[in-house]
Structure 1
Amino acid sequence: MKRIIIVGGGVIGLSIAFELVKKGCSVTLLEKGALACKASGAAAGMLGVHTETRGNPSMTSLAKESRDLFPDLAEELLHCSGVDIGLKQNGMIIPATTNREQHLLRGEADSPEGVSEHLRWLEERELREMEPSLSHSFIGGLSIPLDGNVLAPRLSEALSISAASKGAVLHEGTEVESLIMEGGTILGVNTSRGRLYGDEVVVAGGAWSQHILRRLGIVLDAVPVKGECISLVPKEGCLNRTIVTDDLYMVPKADGTLTIGATEQEGSFNEDVSAKSVSSLLARACTMAPELADAAWRKAWAGTRPKTSSRLPYIGRVPDVEGLSLATGHYRNGILLAPITGVLMADLLTDKDFERGLSHEYTCQWNRDHDSA
C-alpha cells in the first residue's frame, strides 16, 4: 500500500486525500491549524468557469471539467458524510452598463465556446424579468446558465468526513517544519509532533506552501493575495443567480444568505477585515441591487489565496526531486478546481503509466536555487 503524506488541510488537500484513499492508498494529512481554517473556509464557493477564467483557455478547460464533476461528487459526499454541500446550479449573469460592454459580452455569447456552454445575451427587458432587484442602470447582461456555487465550508467538511471514513488519517494542529530529503529523494516530513515517513509527499498548503518549499531552495512564482468578503441575509428572491462585474460578485447561497466580495491586497497574510473594505463592498452591492440596503447584516471575513503570475495553479511532480508533488496556486478557484485537482493528483501518484496531459503550463512555475538546497 502506497503511503502518501499530504501537507495542508484545505479543500485541495482534502480532495486529494479523498481521491487517494478511494484508490487504496494509506493517506496521512497534516494541517498546522484546523481543517479548512484559511482560504477554503473563507471562499465564496463560486463555480465560475466563465467569470473566473476569462481570457485563459488552459484554465477554462480545466475549470469546465472540474465544474462538471460537482453533481456526482455532491451525491457521493452526501452518501459518505451525510453533509449536503449546498450545490446550486442556478447560473450567473454578467450585467452591462455601456454599449462597449454589451458588444464584448455579445461576442462571448456568439463565440464557439459560448454556444457550447449555452451563453446568451439578455436584453434589458429579459434581464429585468430574471433579476428584478438589479439596478436600472444595466442595459442587459450575459447569461451563463451552467455555472453555480456551493457552500465552501460544507464542501471541506464533507471531504474531511468522507476521507476519514475511508481510512485517511487527518491530523490538525500539526505543523510541518521541514521535508526529509536524502540524495534528491523526499522520504518524509519533520513535524511539530515528530518525524513521519512516506513514499510520496504532496504539498497543498495554499499561500503557505512557499514557507515549506523555500527550505529546499524551491521558489514558486506565487504571491499571497488577501481577499475580504461580507455576508447579508436579503429578503427571499432578492437575487436568484450569481451577479458578477469586474470589481464585485454577489452569490446567493443555498442557506438563504448572500456572499459579496471581494477586495484584493497582494502580499498580505493579514486576515483582519477593515471598515473601509466593508463600506466599499456594501456601497457597490447596494448600487447594483438597491434592495440590499434593507438586508440584514450577517458577518465579514478575510482569507489569503496564492496567485501565480499566469493565473494557473501548480499541479504535478516537482522536477529533479523524487517523491515530491505540489498542488497549489489555485488563487480564487480553489473550490472550483478541487474535484479535478484531487482526481489528477490521485491518478498521478498511483498510476505509473498515467499520461494525462498535465501540460507544461502547470509544471513550470517554479525555480530551484541549488546553492540553497
Structure 2
Amino acid sequence: MSKSYDVIIVGAGVIGCSIAYQLSKRKKKVLLIEKNKIGGEASSAAAGMLGVHSEFIGDQNLLNAALRSRDMFTELSRELKEISGIDIELSHNGMIKPACSEIEKGQMMKILQLSTDVEWLSEEDVARLEPKLSKGNHHGGLYAYRDGNVSAGKLTRALAKSAVKLGAYIQEYTPVISFLMERNRCIGVKTLHETYHSQEVIVAGGAWSSKILRGAGFEICGLPVKGECVSVSACKQLVERTIFTKECYIVPKRGNHYLVGATEHPHTFDSKVSAGGIHHLLGKAIDLLPDLAFARLEKSWAGVRPKTDRFLPYIGRLPGRECLAVATGHYRNGILLAPLTGILMADLIDSIEIDPIFGFHHERMLK
C-alpha cells in the first residue's frame, strides 16, 4: 500500500465518505482513515431524513444550501447504485410538521415566504393525508412535499464503496495520533504503526474533530450532542410521510418500519441508551400516532452528533495552517448536507473558490 497521496481524509462517516467519493471522481489519489469502522458513529445512528424544512427556518443561505443538497440525491442515488450496487433507499415521501400551538403556526407561516416547495395544510388536510394521526392536538401543519429520507447506513457504505471502486483507499480501525507539520504546512498524518504523506489533509471526524485537531495545535468551537432513537415495526402502514415536531419525529421506512427520534444530551460522548429517553420518545410518538402503541419494538440506539456554537458547519481551510482543512459540525443534518459538502470540499482541493453558504467564518472557530 502506498504511503503518499493527493488527499488524506480523517474520518469515514457520511461526510468523509462523501468527500472521498467526490475527490475520487476527479481522479485524486485518496486515503480515508477511520479510527473505528466506516459509518460507525453518528452516520449509522441517523434516521436519514432529508428534512430541509425541519430546522432551516432562520437563515436563507443555509436553507438554499440544504435545498441544493437535497436535490442532488436523485442523481446521487442512481450513481451510487450503478457503481457500488447499493440501493440507498431514497424515498420522496414528504414531511408534515404539525403546528402544536397558534404561536408555532405563526412561525411556520413565515417559512412559506422563504421556500417555494412547501404548502400549508389545514387540520382537515392533515387528517386527509395522514388519517391515523391523532385529531385535535394541532392547528394544521407545514407540508414539505419534496423532502424525503434515505437509509443513512447504506448511503455511507455506498459512498465508501464507490470511492474505493474509483481508486480510493480506506484504512479502518486506524486512529490518527498526530499530524506531520513543516512549519505551518500539513504534509500528512501519523497513525500508531504508519506515517502517510499527502498534499492535503481534511479532518471530517464529526463530534471527534475537535479532539483530532488538537494534534495540529488547533481548537474549534463545538460540542458533542448525544441523540437516542428507537425503531418499531407494524403490521400495516401507519403513516406515509415523515412527521416532525419539536418533541419527536417519526420516519417511515420500507416494510412498515418506523424510526422515532431523537433526544438531545449535550456535552457527552456516552452512547449508552437510557430507559427514560426511549420512554419519552415513545410517549410523544404515540400521542401523535396512537396506533404506534401496538407496533413491535425492534431496537434502540444512540449516536453522538457534532454541533457548533453557531449551528453552522465548519467547512474550509483552517486559518494559519496550510494544506489542512475541516468539514464538521453538521449536527442533525449530516445526511442531508453530505452531497453538497463533498462537492464543496472537492472544489476547495481543486482551488475553486467556494461560496461560504454555510456561514463559515474563521474567527468563530477559535475557542
TM-score range, shorter chain: over 0.9
Greater shift in the superposed pair: 291-300 or 96-105: 96-105
**Aligned residue in 2 for 1:355:** 353
Flag the 1:2–1:180 CA change in 2: closer, same or farther, 3 A.
closer
**Aligned residue in 2 for 1:124:** 123
Shift in Å at residue 20 of structure 1? Answer: 0.3
**Aligned residue in 2 for 1:219:** 219
Shift in Å at residue 108 of structure 1? Answer: 2.6
Percentage identity across paired residues of the two chains: 45
Greater shift in the superposed pair: 139-148 or 250-259: 250-259
Letter in 2 for 1:204: A
Aligned 8 A contact 2:57 2:63 in 1: yes
Corresponding residue SS for 2:281:
helix
Letter in 2 for 1:94: K
Aligned 8 A contact 1:9 1:35 in 2: yes
Corresponding residue SS for 1:198:
strand
Letter in 2 for 1:155: L
Shift in Å at residue 2 of structure 1? Answer: 6.2
Corresponding residue SS for 1:189:
strand
Greater shift in the superposed pair: 45-54 or 14-23: 45-54
**Aligned residue in 2 for 1:232:** 232
Q: Show CA shifts across 1:332-363 (max 9, x none).
A: 0110010000001011102x3x1231258214
* Separation in 2, partners of 1:255, 1:210: 39
Q: Show CA shifts across 1:90-142 (max 9, x none).
A: 11001123333333333433x1x23x22x111111111110011111223111
**Aligned residue in 2 for 1:253:** 253
* Separation in 1, partners of 2:134, 2:357: 43
Flag the 1:359–1:66 CA change in 2: closer, same or farther, 3 A.
closer
Letter in 2 for 1:191: T
Letter in 2 for 1:135: S
* Separation in 2, partners of 1:293, 1:194: 52
Corresponding residue SS for 2:310:
coil
Letter in 1 for 2:355: G
Aligned 8 A contact 2:65 2:357 in 1: no
Letter in 1 for 2:80: L
Letter in 1 for 2:254: A
Shift in Å at residue 219 of structure 1? Answer: 1.1
Question: Are positions 1:44 and 2:42 aligned together?
Answer: no
Shift in Å at residue 366 of structure 1? Answer: 1.6
Corresponding residue SS for 1:271:
coil
Q: Where do residues 94-133 of structure 1 align in structure 2 (5 Å cutoff)?
A: 94-109=97-112, 111=113, 113-114=114-115, 116-117=116-117, 119-133=118-132
Shift in Å at residue 3 of structure 1? Answer: 1.1
Task: Name the count of aligned residue pairs.
Answer: 362
**Aligned residue in 1 for 2:92:** 89
Shift in Å at residue 255 of structure 1? Answer: 4.5
Letter in 1 for 2:133: L
Corresponding residue SS for 1:361:
coil
Corresponding residue SS for 1:199:
strand
**Aligned residue in 2 for 1:371:** none
Greater shift in the superposed pair: 181-190 or 214-223: 214-223
* Separation in 2, partners of 1:175, 1:98: 48
Q: Show CA shifts across 1:312-333 (max 9, x none).
A: 1011111221110100111101
Flag the 1:325–1:232 CA change in 2: closer, same or farther, 3 A.
same
Greater shift in the superposed pair: 227-236 or 339-348: 227-236
* Separation in 1, partners of 2:82, 2:358: 37
Per the normalisation by structure 2, the TM-score is 0.95
Corresponding residue SS for 1:220:
coil
Corresponding residue SS for 2:133:
coil
Flag the 1:68–1:180 CA change in 2: closer, same or farther, 3 A.
same
Shift in Å at residue 240 of structure 1? Answer: 0.6
Q: Where do residues 1-373 of structure 1 align in structure 2 (5 Å cutoff)?
A: 3-109=6-112, 111=113, 113-114=114-115, 116-117=116-117, 119-136=118-135, 137-350=137-350, 352=351, 354-358=352-356, 361-364=359-362, 365-367=364-366
Letter in 2 for 1:5: I
Structure 2 unaligned residues grouped into runs of 5+: none
Q: Show CA shifts across 1:55-114 (max 9, x none).
A: 1323212111110100000000000011110111111001123333333333433x1x23
Corresponding residue SS for 1:228:
strand
Letter in 2 for 1:361: G
Structure 1 unaligned residues grouped into runs of 5+: 369-373
Per the normalisation by structure 1, the TM-score is 0.94
* Separation in 2, partners of 1:206, 1:105: 30
Flag the 1:102–1:17 CA change in 2: closer, same or farther, 3 A.
same
